[in-house]
Amino acid sequence: LYIKRKSTNQINKFDSFNIIQKLFIGTTTNPTLGSINVKLAFYRYSILMTILFNSLVINESLKNAVNINLYFVAGLQIIYALDKLVFEYNLLTSFYLQKERDGYWNIMQQFLQPIINFLPIQILLSNNLPVNYIIISISSIIFLFGFICQRYSDFTKYQHEVNSISVYRPSTARIIVDGFWSYVRYPNYLGTMIVHLALILPVIEPNLSSLQASWPVLLYPLYYIVTLSHKCVRISTLSCLQYGNTWDRQYTVKWNLIPKIF
């Protein structure tokens, strides 16, 4: 993609970057190979692989003893992935599709996500954990809250953009000030983090021996917490550069993800 972009002589504004930076960060927002949008292709690949891996695991586990924890985690991952496919049009107003450049880092994230998502499944396959229906119930409630937070926030953002309901400031910045957006600046990312945190609860038992065997599952939500927190900072920085201090001053909330903390 970098070579293709260079051949079109459209990378002048990236001339201050060295070749490693250009390859890693990317030099174009929506690259295409023929009629294929590369970003959408990798996005769909990540989702479809997550669905495929979990479906195969469920299908294979049906031949063995019932594993409620496995069905629960794999089933919710499939539901969450299917939701992304059904509401893919929400990407039209996303930072990912509109402003994020498609470099090595972005492509590797899409390749890694199905593997990261498989971590709790791998732990459940390796350890025969007893079913705790109280933990599963708590996990379900937390998952549902995160799912609603993420889905409703994305829907609100999409509607604001499409129907021009956004609040226009003198700086021409379009800022959403209702719903979950009135509490934090990026409730859609917060919802995503909560969803993945909820899915590790059935995998971890509150005892030392279990934690020693299942601690790698913590990398699963940690991946989303780190990458999405970093994305929040990047979006805020870009918005301040684009709209100036007015964007930050006139925002109704000052916190990215957690009130009074971050």
The string of pLDDT tens digits covering residues 141-200 is 999 999 999 999 988 888 877 775 444 444 455 667 677 878 888 899 999 999 999 999
Spatial neighbors of 244 by CB under 8 A, at least 6 apart, are 171
CB contact at 8 A, 68 and 191? no
Which pLDDT value is given to residue 168?
46
- The token pair at 73 is 């985690």
Three-point CA angle 65, 67, 73, nearest 5°:
155
Three-point CA angle 249, 149, 248, nearest 5°:
10
Alpha-carbon gap, residue 257 to 180, rounded angstroms:
11
Alpha-carbon gap, residue 85 to 43, rounded angstroms:
9
Spell out the domain ranges in the chain: 1-250
Strand ranges inside the chain, DSSP E: 32-33, 36-37, 167-168, 174-175
Q: How many CA atoms lie within 13 A of 3 on its CB side?
A: 1
Which pLDDT value is given to residue 167?
46
Single out the residue of 108, 138, 112, 255 nearest to residue 204, CA to CA: 138
Block means of pLDDT (10 residues each) for the chain, 262 residues, are: 45 54 69 81 91 92 85 94 91 79 79 91 84 92 96 87 55 66 88 95 76 81 92 83 68 79 81
Which pLDDT value is given to residue 144?
96
- The token pair at 85 is 């496919």
Could you tell me the end-to-end alpha-carbon distance of the chain, in angstroms, rounded to an integer? 35
